Amino acid sequence: MIALVVLVAALPLLGALAVAVGVRARTAATLTAVGGAGAFAAALALAIKVVGGGAFESASGFVYVDALSAFFAVTISLVVTLAGLGSVGYLRTEEERGELNPLQLRLYIVFFALFSALMLASLETGNLGLLWVLVEASTLASAVLVALEAKARSLEAAWKYIIISSFGVTIALAGTLFLFYAATPLALSPNERLTWPALFANAGGLQHDTLKLAFLLAVIGYGTKVGLAPMHTWLPDAHSEAPSPASAMLSAALLNTGMYAIIRFQALAAADLGRYPSRVLLVFGFASIAIGALFMVRRGNFKRLFAYSSIEHMGIIAVALGFGGTLGYYGALLHTLNHAIGKCVLFLTSGELVLRYRTRSSLEVDGVLGAAPLVGAVLLLGSLAIVGSPPFGLFLSEFTIVRAGFAGSPILAGLLLLLLVLAFVAFMRTTSMMALGESDGRAVSAGPVGGAGIASRAPLVAGLVVLLVLGLWIPHGLNHLIMDSIEAIR
């Protein structure tokens, strides 16, 4: 078991190691994708082990994997695989055009690998202090990716990202320290007072008022990482300025890592604070959905559009957790997986659009379906998937969440439906014009060709196929993993 745990976090470093020994950047980029695929295979094997044999704990809780950890590891390693494969063609084209120099290519590969490894490692520890350290380290690694192009806007976005995220993670540290203090009445060692299994087993004995403050600070702190409103202001800039495969990692992997930490704190707080954690998550969740939907109304930078969509979807997950119950938790976890795949597909598609049209403005992109049929089809279908249209997986997860809402609060469920309709109209208004609008005849730049084209487009098609399958059928193994994840935090 320990070998699988190590492989999940270590295999994404394959590309960085290749760079360190002098392998050329193109080969190292391919090895990054191979390492991501290996991590995904190891995560699947780890999930099977955990579902069959229960949680694994070692090194006094510093290494800990239960069903929830395994679920998020599978989700994020899948994103690493898709984004790593998409990076191969993207980097090759940018290199051929002279947009990225050899140093930038190597920096991308090294910090993409570090970013991936740190996120996956954060899911495999039971110590909430170490979790904080790894999440903060992932912030620093991903900031290099945001600033990679070294342009004024990308550098500004990177500094904004570092400052706001670091401030948020500092608040999360305060929440972690208050949780440590809340455990003082328990007969636990200092290490166990920050170790998830020990805390969860004794959650009812935590100091009530201190735990309440710890949870609120954790939601604000890690919520900054997640992009929950009003702590979301770094997210549109960082996502829009980073290279598109890195944007996919930020939206589909980084945000989920922060949400994972919030779920851990919610599980501890819910055992002693009743409905308080749910109310907090509902407030932040609905604020995020509303802000994300309203900002999507304006047409402009299509990568910012996708970023605001991520804010909306993180809000949906927070609302699902706030609704609670088996349906709420199931919908939240299923939506986490569906959104990760869907947003990865869309950001990788945005990379194809940037390479072809040399712009990020939706007003300057139209007729994609006619100019580049495959890219246009993925843009249109991916957009329909991300706004929750049947038969894609996000329809099923959003339907489950709405059902959970009607079971507890029909008024809140109705408000959620209203906001989802607003988001649908705002998002599709822009992307449908990009895909189906009549082309003005402006020349389209040549996209990736040959092997780069295959590497760029394979994750687009694969991601859409997975979303379609998840909309029609939930595999038994995935269902079992989600149900075990729910049991691990209830």
Share above pLDDT 90 across residues of the chain, in percent, rounded to a whole number: 78
What does the mean pLDDT of the chain come to?
92
Give the tokens for residue 142. 């991903």
Residues 246 and 1: their CA atoms lie apart, in Å, by 30
Residue among 383, 365, 489, 375 at smallest CA distance from 438: 365
Q: Predicted confidence band at 449 (pLDDT cuts at 50, 70, 90)? A: very low
CA distances from 217 to 47, 171, 211, 264, 478 (A): 31, 6, 10, 13, 32
pLDDT at 441 over 60: no
Q: Predicted confidence band at 443 (pLDDT cuts at 50, 70, 90)? A: very low
Q: Predicted confidence band at 451 (pLDDT cuts at 50, 70, 90)? A: very low
Share above pLDDT 70 across residues of the chain, in percent, rounded to a whole number: 97
Give the tokens for residue 163. 């400052």
Residues 6+ apart with CB under 8 A from 97: none
The average pLDDT across 217-240 equals 94
Size of the chain, expressed as the number of residues it contains: 490
The average pLDDT across 189-212 equals 91
CA distances from 15 to 94, 257, 479, 480 (A): 18, 22, 33, 33
Residues 207 and 178: their CA atoms lie apart, in Å, by 10
Type of residue at 178: F
Q: What is the pLDDT of residue 204?
A: 87
Phi first, then psi: give them for residue 297, nearest 5 degrees.
-65, -35
Q: What is the pLDDT of residue 150?
A: 82
Highest mean pLDDT among 432-441, 442-451, 477-486: 477-486
Residue among 425, 416, 427 at smallest CA distance from 287: 416
**What are the tens digits of pLDDT across the range 1-60?**
899 999 999 999 999 999 999 888 889 999 999 999 999 999 999 999 999 888 999 988
**What are the tens digits of pLDDT across the range 349-400?**
999 999 888 888 988 998 999 888 999 999 999 999 999 999 999 999 999 9
Is residue 195 within 8 A of residue 152, CB to CB? The reply is no
DSSP 178-219: HHHHHTTTSS--TTGGGBHHHHHHTGGGS-HHHHHHHHHHHH
Residue with the two structure tokens 């509303």:
290
Residues 6+ apart with CB under 8 A from 272: 203, 204, 206, 208, 211
Residues 156 and 159: their CA atoms lie apart, in Å, by 5
| Preceding peptide of 230 cis, ω within 30° | yes
End-to-end CA distance of the chain: 25
**What are the tens digits of pLDDT across the range 73-119?**
999 999 999 999 999 988 888 888 888 889 999 999 999 999 999 99
**Adjacent-strand bridge partners of 195:** 127
Phi first, then psi: give them for residue 66, nearest 5 degrees.
-120, -170
Residues 260 and 226: their CA atoms lie apart, in Å, by 9
Domain boundaries, the chain: 2-488
**What are the tens digits of pLDDT across the range 267-293?**
999 988 889 999 999 999 999 999 999
CA angle, corner 239, sides to 238 and 240, nearest 5? 95
Q: Predicted confidence band at 440 (pLDDT cuts at 50, 70, 90)? A: low
pLDDT at 414 over 80: yes
Q: What is the pLDDT of residue 439?
A: 63
CB count, 10 Å around CB of 161? 25
Q: What is the pLDDT of residue 324?
A: 92
DSSP 353-414: HHHHHS--BGGG---HHHHSHHHHHHHHHHHHHHTT-TTSHHHHHHHHHHHHHHHH-HHHHH
Residues 415 and 394: their CA atoms lie apart, in Å, by 18
Q: Is 64 helix (H, G, I), strand (E, B) or coil?
A: strand
Write the DSSP symbol of residue 298: S
Q: What is the pLDDT of residue 25?
A: 86
Residues 152 and 132: their CA atoms lie apart, in Å, by 30
